[in-house]
Amino acid sequence: MILSVSRRTDIPNYYPEWFFNRIRDGRAYVRNPMNPRQVSDVPLAPEVVDCIVFWTKNPARMIERLDELSAYNYYFQFTLTGYGRDMERGVPHKKEKMIPLFRELSQKIGKERVIWRYDPIIVNDRYTAKYHIRAFGQIAEALDGFTEKVVISFVDIYSKIRKNMDRIHMSELTGEEKLEMAAQMSRAARRHHMSIGACAEETDFSQVGVERNCCIDKRLIERLTGYPLKAAKDRNQRKECGCIESVDIGTYNTCLNGCLYCYANYSEKSVAAACRDYDPDSPLLCGRVTAEDTVRPRMAAGSRHH
């Protein structure tokens, strides 16, 4: 089983105690987002979990505890963009805090296990195409030797972020404009010894050296584990997504990063309400099992293939 921690919220940043408690207990409960009364009992023992994929903007609170994961294979998707606090309200200063943290994590676990994400790309009057290309190049230079790969994507306008995007006067990019930005980012990535991929994009950027990306990456996981995996494409993701199937143990409406482009939170009010229910000792993230809930064992997705 591949464990996703998590597309739905920043567990390494805000809920590391809960996560390490779940590792110690050998299980986590996860509500079905479509049917909240249905709860999955997800096994977390090392012999069940082939690999853990972490998604975060700030792993500072996990770094000193990574020894507790010595029985597991894992890697990080570390988002590091050129945006300021106007777009990513909960993320510390990039040059002062986040770039040094990225380097520290890379030195601790190996550059192949820290994927840099520069996404989503949003263009407006402040964050112009020229701005992004310059910011991308500066970060790429700073991370040269500390990662093997960077992932880019252009923002998808989900209904719940439409209002925010209108408020910041987001510009719609043409296919040609996206291709030109991807080409310049591709050149910068290769100059700084990184491969580059695009996440779930309809546009094919391969002509400018940008491959189609898999965030839950079968090739990388097989490289880290040392054995082949039997795993299908994740049917719960968009058709452009190349990820293999995984089990996500996160919960929507629990991320405190405060990013204007976030699709995983409905509103600040719903996040505040969910966070009031946070208990690091509960098997559920930000909640408890009630008498109305049905708890069922979750079958593993993806597995060792001998």
pLDDT reported for residue 305: 47
Percent of the chain with pLDDT over 90: 81
Residues forming beta bridges with residue 107, ordered by sequence position:
none
**Does the residue 85 lie in any domain?**
yes
Q: At what angle do helices 175-191 and 129-142 cross, to 10 degrees?
A: 20
CA distances from 97 to 41, 43, 104, 107, 175 (A): 37, 35, 11, 16, 34
Q: Which residues are within 8 A (CB) of 204 and not within 5 positions of it... i.e. 6 or more apart?
A: 212
**Does the residue 284 lie in any domain?**
yes
Residue 90's Cβ-side half-sphere holds a number of Cα atoms within 13 Å equal to 17
pLDDT digits (tens, 9 = 90+) for 265-305: 888 899 999 999 999 999 999 999 999 999 999 876 555 64
pTM: 0.94
- Total domain count for the chain? 1
Q: Which residues are within 8 A (CB) of 266 and not within 5 positions of it... i.e. 6 or more apart?
A: 160, 252, 253
How does DSSP assign 112-134, residue by residue? GGEEEEEEEE--SSSS-HHHHHH
Q: Which residue has the higher pLDDT, 162 or 303?
A: 162
Span 147-171, average pLDDT? 88
**Does the residue 305 lie in any domain?**
no
* Average of per-residue pLDDT values in the chain: 93
- Angle at 151 (CA atoms; ends 63, 190), nearest 5 degrees: 105
Which domain, by its residues, includes 260?
2-292
pLDDT reported for residue 302: 53
**Does the residue 207 lie in any domain?**
yes
Residue entry with tokens 């990013």: 259
pLDDT digits (tens, 9 = 90+) for 209-264: 999 988 999 999 999 999 999 988 877 777 777 789 999 999 999 999 999 998 88
d(CA 195, CA 45): 33
Residue entry with tokens 């898999």: 214
- Indicate if the pLDDT at residue 95 is higher than 90: yes
How does DSSP assign the chain, residue by residue? -EEEE-SSS-HHHH-HHHHHHHHHHTEEEEEETTEEEEEEEEE--TTT-SEEEEEES--HHHHTTGGGGTTS-EEEEEE--S--TTTBTTPPPIIIIIHHHHHHHHHHH-GGGEEEEEEEE--SSSS-HHHHHHHHHHHHHHTTTT-SEEEEEEPP--HHHHHHHHHTTPPPPPHHHHHHHHHHHHHHHHHTT-EEEESS-SS--GGGT-EEP-SS-HHHHHHHHSS-EE--B-TTS-TT--PBP-EE---SS---S-BTT-SS-S-HHHHHHHHTT--TTSSBTTS---TT-EEEEPPPSSEE--
Read off the amino acid at residue 56.
Answer: T
CB 238 within 8 A of CB 72: no
Query: Of 35, 72, 80, nearest to 52 (Cα)?
Result: 72
**Does the residue 186 lie in any domain?**
yes
**Does the residue 306 lie in any domain?**
no
Buried b (16+ CB within 10 A) or exposed e, 294-303: eeeebebbbe
Number of Cβ within 10 Å of residue 86's Cβ equals 10
**Does the residue 239 lie in any domain?**
yes
pLDDT reported for residue 248: 96
**Does the residue 298 lie in any domain?**
no
